[in-house]
Structure 1
Amino acid sequence: MTLDALPDPPLARLRGVRKRYGGRVALDGVDLEVHAGEMLALLGPNGAGKSTAVHLMLGLLAADEGSVELLGRSPQRLEARRGIGVMLQSAGIPDTLRVRELLELTRSYYPQPRSIADCVALAGLDGLLERRYGRLSGGQQRRVQFALAVCGLPRVLFLDEPTTGLDIDARQRLWRAIRELVADGAGVVLTTHYLEEAEALADRVVVLTGGRVVAEGSVARIRARVARRRVRCVTALAPERLAAWPHVLEARAEHGRVELVCENAEPVVRRLLDADPALHELEVLRGGLADAFIDITREAA
């Protein structure tokens, strides 16, 4: 292998990390890497260790065992911290400051920050610069928090539940902004309970359960671990009747259609066509990331 073919070093990395809180194990030998131009979704149930992993990479916690690197340095080093952006669930931002003042203050911490105009465009802050932070809606405050996280042109961006409180349009706009940052070469770490968000954005998924990595790979690879399928159709057959069929795990009516969750779709589809010759708009879909997440965490438990 030539030197040119060597992979770029990760922007952030955990190696064999263990962390305890008293007698409780939060992380148990975790290896994790974040690379440039990659969106990494860190998923897991409450208490799985997601926040601990992020806080270690941010330098807010120290590992009991193992090593933590941020931009090739200790996360406690100022030059490493200047290369990151952070959007946490609890922001602690002064209510009395105006949005412009917050942006100017945060930009002053970085040697070559993003312009205020670029921050406004990226986060969708048109018309909000002269508003006091405490007078904004919850969704507007989240957009300001995103602008503050990206104003330093971070090489690594940590987003903890970034779209909580946003309406659909604002969420879609934030997704576009995140994709733009990744396309420009930033590494992004996303923790979210919206699995459709991870499915839409992530290049790679890591699932934590009980402080251990139980699954890792692309969204397609994680989804491929699920045997179940979703069968959708328009039929006169009642969901209550279909729920009793073999291989059907769940049946419900939604928007004039019936949706079945099946552990084996082929015999169910054959029986549907036999039972209702007028059946139409038939679809058979692979289980999504949410189905995979449920199966993986259940197996790990």
Structure 2
Amino acid sequence: MPSAPALEIRGLSVRYGDVVAVDALDLTIPAGRTVALLGPNGAGKSTTVNAVLGLITPTAGDVRVLGRSPREAVRAGSVGAMLQHGGLPSEARVGEVIDLVRRSFPTAWPLDDLVMTAGIEGLLGRPVEALSGGQRQRVLLALALAGAPPLLLLDEPTSAMDVEGRRAFWTTMRGLAARGHTVVFATHHLDEADAVADRVVVVAEGRVVADGTTAEVKAGVGGRTVSFTAAPQRLFDDVPAVTSVSRRGSTVTLGTTDADATLRALLAEGGLPDLEVRGATLEDAVLALLPARRAPIGATR
């Protein structure tokens, strides 16, 4: 008999008064996958995560976590979570907090392996108040893993980390996926999603608007960009197939629906120093999927 999906959401709707936060959302995630939830602020990502954790009661629909209700799955230690506004108790040491949380689960992650996996070596004796932002995130990860959960939910997990910390964090996530854990994370860092996720789900106005590998989502956006160095006075209004023109210093970037036609016309006028032609990035693809009135991802926090 096949195992239950790590997460199965059917017709999930959540309303706050007249505001629809999640609108009949459907999503199924098999076990052992690494999935990124993408979308602008207010798209419904955090509300969906809260529904999966049993922190809110949906207006309609059903959520099953490893074949159980959210509250049953959480009580069984099957779900670990890092939320945007997760906190740590004051006037305590890191080791004391981790010991308290580990003892609340029927099966706890072995301490030495937990410390190594979460990257908190040397922090057990440190007061919580003395942690840096990145260290706090690492400790919160250790708490999320304390019950050895098969499903891990992360909401903006690297928001307080520097570049090195983010890189180390996602190395840890790859290791967890290799052990068979399912990792579902919401992020504004689309480079992280592109590098880490084997599946991306784009949410806008409470609905799934794209679902697939990063390559599949990017392939859904037609056109390419052509970038090169050009003099400020050079104009591109009459270049074939050009849909957009942007400048950053001496670098010009043209959006085009036919890169060959655009390049032929440009080269006929002269050389193109520092030429670069590329397909759509994940950011291009996600922004193309969003309603026009939405702000770009990451524009506000």
Q: TM-score, normalised by structure 2?
A: 0.89
Establish whether residue 249 from structure 1 lines up as the match of residue 244 from structure 2.
Answer: yes
Deviations 1:173-214 (A, max 9, x none): 101111111111111111011111111111111111111111
Alpha-carbon distance in 2 for matches of 1:33, 1:194:
23
2:179 aligned residue (161, 175, 184): 184
> For residues 79 and 134 of structure 1, do their structure 2 counterparts lie closer, same or farther at Cα, with a shift above 3 Å needed?
closer
Instruction: Output the amino acid matched with 1:287.
Output: A
Mapping 1:30-49, distance limit 5 Å: 30-49=25-44
Q: 1:294 aligns with which of 263, 287, 290?
A: 287
SS of structure 1 residue aligned to 2:291: helix
Contact persistence 2:76–2:106 (CA under 8 A): no
Task: Give the corresponding residue for 2:90.
Answer: 95
Say whether residues 1:120 and 2:115 are aligned partners.
yes
Residues 222-275 of structure 1 show CA distances to partners (whole Å, capped at 9, x for unaligned) of 101111323244x4x226635645415233347x86544434322222233223
Partner of 1:74: 69
Gap change, CA 1:79 and 1:43, over 3 Å in 2: closer
| 2:260 alignment partner AA | E
Q: State the 1:282 CA deviation.
A: 3.3
Indicate conservation of the 8 Å contact 1:96/1:132, yes or no.
yes
Q: Confirm or deny that 1:212 pairs with 2:203.
A: no
Partner of 1:60: 55
* Aligned counterpart, 1:15: 10
Q: Is 1:162 matched up with 2:178?
A: no
CA distance in structure 2 between the partners assigned to 1:78 and 1:10 by the alignment: 13
1:268 — aligned with what? 262
TM-score where L is the length of structure 1 = 0.89
Q: How many residue pairs get matched?
A: 292
- How far did 1:281 drift? 4.9
Note closer, same or farther for the CA distance 1:265–1:103 as it changes in structure 2 (3 Å cut): same
What CA distance in whole angstroms lies between the structure 2 residues aligned with 1:240 and 1:42?
Answer: 42
- Percent identity at matched positions? 43
1:223-238 superposed matches below 5 A: 223-233=218-228, 235=229, 237-238=230-231
| Compared CA separation, residues 130 and 260, structure 1 to 2 (3 A) | farther
Name the counterpart of 2:193.
Answer: 198
Q: Which runs of 5 or more structure 2 residues have no equivalent in the other structure?
A: 295-301
Q: Which amino acid aligns with 1:184?
A: R
Task: Give me the CA root mean square deviation.
Answer: 2.3
CA distance in 1, matches of 2:164, 2:172: 13
Residues 30 and 81 of structure 1: CA distance in aligned 2, closer, same or farther (over 3 Å) = farther
The change in CA–CA distance for 1:103 and 1:240 in structure 2 (over 3 A counts) is: farther
Aligned partner of residue 66 in structure 1, secondary structure: strand
Retained in 2: the 8 A contact 1:239–1:251?
A: no
Change in 2 beyond 3 A, CA 1:115/1:24: same
Query: Structure 1 residue runs of 4+, over 6 Å off?
Result: none
Task: Describe the shift of the 1:182–1:86 C-alpha distance in structure 2 as closer, same or farther (beyond 3 A).
Answer: same
Shift of 1:168: 0.9
8 Å Cα contact 1:249-1:263 kept in structure 2: no
Which deviations, in whole Å up to 9, do the C-alpha atoms of 1:44-87 show, x marking residues without a partner?
11111111111111111122222111121111226655111100
**Structure 1: distance between partners of 2:158 and 2:236:** 35
Determine if contact 1:39/1:182 at 8 Å carries over to the other structure.
yes
Structure 1 spans left out of the alignment, 5+ residues? none
1:83 is aligned to 2:68: no
Rounded Cα–Cα distance in structure 1 between residues aligned with 2:93 and 2:148: 21
Amino acid at match of 2:264: R
Q: Is the Cα–Cα contact under 8 Å of residues 223 and 257 in structure 2 kept in the other structure?
A: yes
